[in-house]
Amino acid sequence: MELSILTEIFQEGTFSEEELSNIGGSLTELSLKKGDILLQKGETVFHTHYVYRGCLRSFFIDETGKDHTLQFAIDDWWISDYTAFFAGDKAMMDIECIQDTLSYRMSRKDMEQLYLEIPAFETFFRKKLEKRIVAFHKRTLGNLALPAKERYLSFIETYPTIEQKVKNYHIASYLGMTTESLSRVRKEI
């Protein structure tokens, strides 16, 4: 794997060239096409995925058949069903490719080995997970307490370029509103 790509992926960490090379040996490149399913509910989750270029979304379908978007993963984002990934459980959600995507995946086993060999690698992922937890809590509280307009503005702040990549019904699903409500909010702004 090219050192320049590894440097880009792990730019928030402090790694030597040797460490980056070691990390690169644990990453596998995946080219995905729009519509490809990366993970299906019920599968065992062995990998986390880094989106180098493109867009993925995680979602689940409730008992009534309603689709709920949980996360978008655009350039420079990591995605998996982390509950299943860390607990060794079956996936509770699906991950689909909504734009042609170049990604890199890493297994849980390789990640654990790299934690032992490269302490800065463990720090890198700990900080990523801390940011994810903070964002998750803010989103949860926002969905419970904020009006639709404020949720949309927060979404645009988090994903400033995503509207060109995803369909309106995916955005509405992520925000917990109908596409009609999303259209009304956009008109207000």
Over its length of 189 residues, how does the chain's per-residue pLDDT go in tens digits?
A: 899 999 999 999 999 999 999 999 999 999 999 999 999 999 999 999 999 999 999 999 999 999 999 999 999 999 999 999 999 899 999 999 999 999 999 999 999 999 999 999 999 999 999 988 888 888 888 777 889 999 999 888 888 888 888 889 999 999 989 999 999 999 998
pLDDT at 86: 92
For 92, phi then psi, to 5°, come to -100, -5
* Amino acid identity for residue 11 in this structure: Q
Give the closest residue to 159 by CA, choosing from 56, 31, 37, 25.
Answer: 56
Rounded Cα gap, residues 2 and 90, in angstroms: 33
The number of residues in the chain equals: 189
What does DSSP assign to residue 100? E
pTM for the whole structure: 0.88
pLDDT at 14: 94
pLDDT at 143: 79
- The b-or-e profile of 22-47 (16+ CB within 10 A means b, else e) is bbbebbeebebeeeeebbeeeeebbb
